[in-house]
Structure 1
Amino acid sequence: MHDVPLWLWMVFAVTVLVSLTVDLLAHRQAHVIHFKEAAAWSAVWVGLAITFGVAVFLVVGTSAGVEYTTAWLLEKSLSVDNLFVFALIFGYFKVPRAYQHRVLFLGVLGALVFRGLFLAAGVAVVSRFTAVLFVFAAILFWSTYKILKEEDDSFDPGKSLAVKLLRKVIPVRDDYAGPHFFVKEAGKRVGTPLLAVVAAIEAADLVFAVDSVPAVLAVSSDPFIVYTSNAFAILGLRALYFMLAGLLDRFHYLSTGLAIILAFIGIKLILQASHKLISPAIPEVPSPLSLAVITAVLTISITLSMLRPPPGHPEAPSAADTVTSPDSSTVDDPPDDSGPEGPTDPPQRPGTT
């Protein structure tokens, strides 16, 4: 555990509250968020995360700063998977793009609460039962297997337990009523599909926490490090989604990179538990090495994705590109008309066809 002054916790809390308030006020009017606006907000969230990381380095120390940076980058990379689920949910419920930010805002609030509870429980369990790290490692290895075998696409928003429970608690109408979550019909309060979307997104975050929590606990068991890094990664999810909505299918090598990262973190957990339970001679993976590996894998995955577009992508070579005749020119693929706002249909996850 690091010696974190109380005032730094307060700075973090105030930063989050002020940021959420400003974000809410800036988007109080429902509108379609375009690429430039999303990119600007994404820069703000990344800038806040980096600035806070610098404060951790200066106030708590280099070790804590490296752990924070590693955990934030890890959570940021794992959160990309959330973006595909967001697209899937929005496509399933046919959510108008003007209302998507409102839904994601509430999703972020729920994620901040639930992640805090899960991380607190995880830290408490790890501090008492070190052997649970082997279980966490097994979870990460299983997630790696599912990603590599492309078996991670089974999430069905309509069959979500949260959505089913919601419909049992309160009637949900079929039509949207603007940005409202509730309306009155025949004197009774009923939910709109927007409410079901929020429930589906919260349920999806609980599923992702199964991977996220064990992964970040492999980096640090300090409550301050694990929660602040998670919080700043979660805060930037909305802007990242709107910025990359039309480009998600381009990063087809990213799934392989995430699988490698999860497997690496799983090995780190096994070595960490073995060092404590079996023999101090068994080496642990230092945080600087973890940071270097995660950074390198993400950089290579993104670079390869940009250099080698997936088959069927407008920028990928097609058979027509290689077939020419003296009387005809090269046949180009039709242009991508998805635009910066994202494609009409939800994109596939990286690595799927």
Structure 2
Amino acid sequence: MTTQHTAIEWTDRTWNPVTGCTKVSPGCDNCYAATIAHRFAGSKAFPDGFDVTVHEDRVDQPYRWKKPARVFVNSMSDLFHQDVPDLFITHVFDVMEANPQHTFQVLTKRHARMRSFVQRREQLRREYAAKFDDCPTEAMRNSPAAKMARARAARPPANIWLGVSVENQKWADIRIPALLETPAAVRFLSCEPLLGPVDLSRWLRPVPGCGHVAADDGTCTHLDAMTPECHRWADCPARARYEDWHGLDWVIVGGESGPKARAMHPDWARQIRDACDVAGVPFFFKQWGEWGPAPFIVRVCDPDEGWHGTDEELAAAKKDSEARGATHVHTGHSREENGERQYWLHEIGHKPWSLERVGLPAGAAAIRRWGKKRAGRELDGRLHDAFPA
């Protein structure tokens, strides 16, 4: 787990200069990284199990990768965990900037620390660049070093994408505003595991004609940044400076996998997909996870006609229908538990090949436990694999 090519669909490889973490929200409850680390505790990869461990010997690995790649930083940890020193985080960022051939995807649940760290880093760039304006000679003010300093201060590194994990509306409301206050070339969300409905509309792109858009270049001039009436893209021209943009650049959605996986209501994924589609924001559907949609009733025959085949054929048809049909219904109804919403999952009380004329209540979705591989990655019959430009 040091660095490797990976099966994670939205990246090419992982890089783990830090391993280990602690749980901070419901999305952490069934952490895959903790399971792996505990299984291999005491090995070279995880000498301290899932305790937070910095690996100085891994920090320079990107220098040795020849082929450009998307790199998920710390798939087995959180770079902004409180036990990771600022100096070590600085070293990691220096290495990422020194390897512009790669795109580094940094994902965190520690939104506040990422915001303060990156804001301070960008402030130091600006202060350093400003010093050249006070140089006594024009040659020094326009030297290559001065030009480079001003270029670095003008905008965040293009190859470092910063994101936060969002599992439900509560954590969207907490983490996304902090992300949007974090200087970054690309800001993204990982809504995985998606444990409840999330409305992202107020954090998507502004609408020309909303009353806040400058006529000359189409950028939103609203002083309070994103507002609900400014969320659609609608062919707004590309921004000239990253400061003009205050929305999300990419959204990933996925259900939970593993033996204790919680089910994702299909409408939660559709709601985010549709909002991204309206706003022109790239949407990536990673997986259904352990649970996925299934037909509610699979007809083995016309209920008015009955079965005309043999008993053996009927048994085979019922067996096939049961293998393909729903076993549970996700209603989207919730209860409060420890300050978080927990959603109901109901087992269907009859076989999916039943010929009863029954229907699902409004808002309910028929699903079953397929397993991650069988559930697949198609949402409404197609793959969604969009990336930021």
State the TM-score, normalized to the length of structure 1: 0.25
**Higher RCO (CA 8 Å, separation ≥ 6 residues):** 1
State the TM-score, normalized to the length of structure 2: 0.23
Q: Which has the higher strand share?
A: 2
Q: Which has the higher helix share?
A: 1
